[in-house]
Amino acid sequence: MSAITTHVLDTVLGKPAAGMAVRLERLEGGWIEVVEGEPAERVTDAPCDWVEVAAGLTDADGRCRDLAIDAPAGDYRLSFATGAYFKDRNRLSIYSEIVIAFACDGKGHYHLPLLLSENSYTTYRGS
């Protein structure tokens, strides 16, 4: 099982993005592994839907530390309410929401930071 966490930094201010709403969802259905040759092939197996695993706000350090502590393997997505964050601070952004979709193998820690400004963002797998 995997832990899933995030950390949001407002790169314009050079500070953590505290108070941002974050939602973690898991894809239920949707993919199956077909092993006829090497490597295995992923194919769509409809129907599927995103199911909420956890939701919260980033803390004073811009972190969500407890979104999932024992996530099984699967496809997940983190959604960040960036539009509301900027609006609450009287700033304009082209991004009303940022979504990071990723595959989790159910082993190890998945820390997905978001570096954010009004007109750009970067994400990566952290440690």
pLDDT > 70? residue 35: no
Give the pLDDT score at 40. Answer: 59
The percentage of residues in the chain with a pLDDT greater than 70, rounded to a whole number, is 86
Q: Structure tokens of 95?
A: 């991004």
Residue 87 CB contacts under 8 Å (≥ 6 apart), including other chains = none
> What CA–CA distance (Å, rounded) separates 72 from 89?
36
58-115 pLDDT per residue, tens: 999 999 998 999 999 999 999 999 999 999 999 999 999 999 999 999 998 999 999 9
Domains within the chain, CATH numbers bracketed: 2-123 (2.60.40.180)
Q: Is the pLDDT of residue 16 over 80?
A: yes
DSSP state at residue 126: B
Q: Tokens for 27?
A: 């894809």
What was the pLDDT predicted at 41? 62
The span from the CA of 96 to the CA of 118, in Å, is 10
pTM value is: 0.86
Residue 7 zone, left/alpha/beta (φ > 0; ψ -120 to 50; rest)? beta
